[in-house]
Structure 1
């Protein structure tokens, strides 16, 4: 399955991001204005397939680029799950040069198995950390 990951928010459509986030339990009621503001103030990653016109994966990182980063809003379109795309997206993010040497933080209630493959460890129920 051919895919590409983009890091330029200008290559992603807000409507596509909203569409993906509306399918989640954590952001399904988040107002569009908040989604737009969160995207503008984060490092965003989009995943596109050769066969699909629209965004099929999305994630964003909040960071100071010095000590910590917070991985948030990781989502793969339901039609494309279980094909390794979530792994590809998370792998790309955690190997990004600008995040090397930083502690990673995330909160999840159902994806600890995915993130543990990339060095994140559960520290308090839903909170996971990845030490540099």
Structure 2
């Protein structure tokens, strides 16, 4: 899948992913800053990944874990700080949530600071039933 959005390309072609850009951003994130480079690489290999590109440079990313039948887990979503505020994150989420692969599946995600963004795509806060088992 490839979609043009203004001067940006959104693609699920893993060959286009810039691993260094992804690792650098995740290292700065609050949710993935303790992952090893090996774990990041394995997570990419075993997931569906979307990249956002501007003039060949990767400026965004999202990773999806799914059973392809009932649900998907959306994670590691980022837009490079220099490119935020241009609707790129919204377009990326629109591409994912309306795609043939995911639009009829239940989507799950975790966020500490972007609830307003995800609510625009019909995600709702479910603190009553969501549970987490963290690695020790």
> Considering the TM-score relative to the shorter chain, is it more than 0.5?
yes
1:26 to 22, 28, 31: 31
Number of the residue aligned with 1:105: 108
Shift of 1:13: 2.1
Runs of 5+ unmatched residues, structure 1:
128-132
Question: Which stretch shows the higher mean deviation, 1-10 or 115-124?
Answer: 1-10
4+ residue runs over 3 A deviation: none
Number of the residue aligned with 1:44: 49
Runs of 5+ unmatched residues, structure 2:
1-5, 131-136
Shift of 1:14: 1.3
2:73 to 63, 70, 85: 70
1:79 to 68, 78, 82: 82
Secondary structure of the residue aligned to 1:121 is coil
TM-score by length of 2: 0.86
Distance 1:124 1:58 in 2: 26
Number of the residue aligned with 1:59: 62
| Residue pair 1:56, 1:76 contacting (<8 A) in 2 also | yes
Superposed CA offset, 1:76-102 (max 9, x none):
111111111111111111111111211
Number of residue-to-residue matches in the alignment? 124
